[in-house]
Structure 1
Amino acid sequence: MALTRSGSWRSVIISKEAVALGQRTFAAAVGKAKKGSKGAASDAPKASILSKEVKSTTVVGANILKDGAAPKIMPDSEYPDWLWHLLNKHPALSELRRKNIETLPYEDLKRFVKLDNRARIKENNSIKAKN
């Protein structure tokens, strides 16, 4: 459809498929708008139907099986040792660069080499992209 200069964009009707190419649309949310305050009441958080005892003894939401039960929380001694080190903070590349490389422990040295290589690759890729 060709437009002349005097034509208005508002008079052009574009199909839904043409608009969806390369752009994100929110058509589903627009069609569900309703009058009144019923929408606001349904957005409020609902009270939990689980008792505090169940919440403290089971992992709620971890069951992936249709007929299975939620797994029970075990004492800390029942879990493997590596689990407790997952949340340990590792030093960033900038922090590792400030330290003397010869005195770094093996794990930090390994991390430094990995992060330094990653940064060098990114820099080389950005230089190639500019050319």
Structure 2
Amino acid sequence: MAMSCRRSLRSLIFVKEPIIVLARRTFAAGGGKAKKGSKGGAAGVAPKDSTLAKEVKSTTTIGANTLKDGTDPKILADSEYPDWLWRLLDKHPALSELRRKNMESLPFEQLKRFVKLDNRARIKDNNSVKAKN
């Protein structure tokens, strides 16, 4: 680093009248010549085949371990997981859909969601009114 700074300082020209600085760009060692056919990066590095057995891949979740001394968790049968896990990715109705429905006929979970979304919308409206004043 210091060597390249010294080289670039040699190429500066200082004039006593108006200050004009001319600089020459310097490059890293190696002559700047790339090998024929390479486009940079690590040439000749091919991805290695996985050393894990197929049996281990199908019975464990690779990379899910968060503990320093722990192991990856085993994949269980679907019946051993809780029921709510399978409903996590279900689509939930939007606030506009919930407003169109009859409040007395909504299940508790949807009613709870309606109250949460409605409060959030009212707070957002009140904040925008206060910001305008």
| Number of residues of Structure 1 aligned to a counterpart in Structure 2 | 98
Q: TM-score, normalised by structure 1?
A: 0.60
Structure with higher Rg: it is 2
Identity %: 71
Quote the residue 2:89 is aligned against: 87
Q: Secondary structure at the match of 1:39?
A: coil
Match of 2:129 in 1: 127
1:14-53 Cα shifts (integer Å, max 9, x gaps): xxxxxxxxxxxxxxxxxxxx985233869x9945513433
Consecutive unaligned residues of structure 1, counting only runs of 5 or more, are 1-10, 12-33
Alignment-derived partner of residue 98 in structure 1? 100
Distance in 2, matches of 1:99 and 1:47, equals: 57
Per the alignment, in what secondary structure is the counterpart of residue 62 of structure 1? coil
1:99 CA displacement:
1.6
Would the alpha carbon gap of residues 59 and 38 (structure 1) be closer, same or farther in structure 2, given more than 3 Å must change?
A: same
Alignment match, 2:79: 77
Please give the residue correspondences for 1:104-115 in structure 2 after superposition, counting only pairs within 5 Å: 104-115=106-117
Name the CA distance, whole Å, in 1 between partners of 2:33 and 2:97.
56
1:61 maps to which residue? 63
> RMSD value over aligned CA atoms?
3.0
Q: Which residue of 2 aligns with 1:27?
A: none
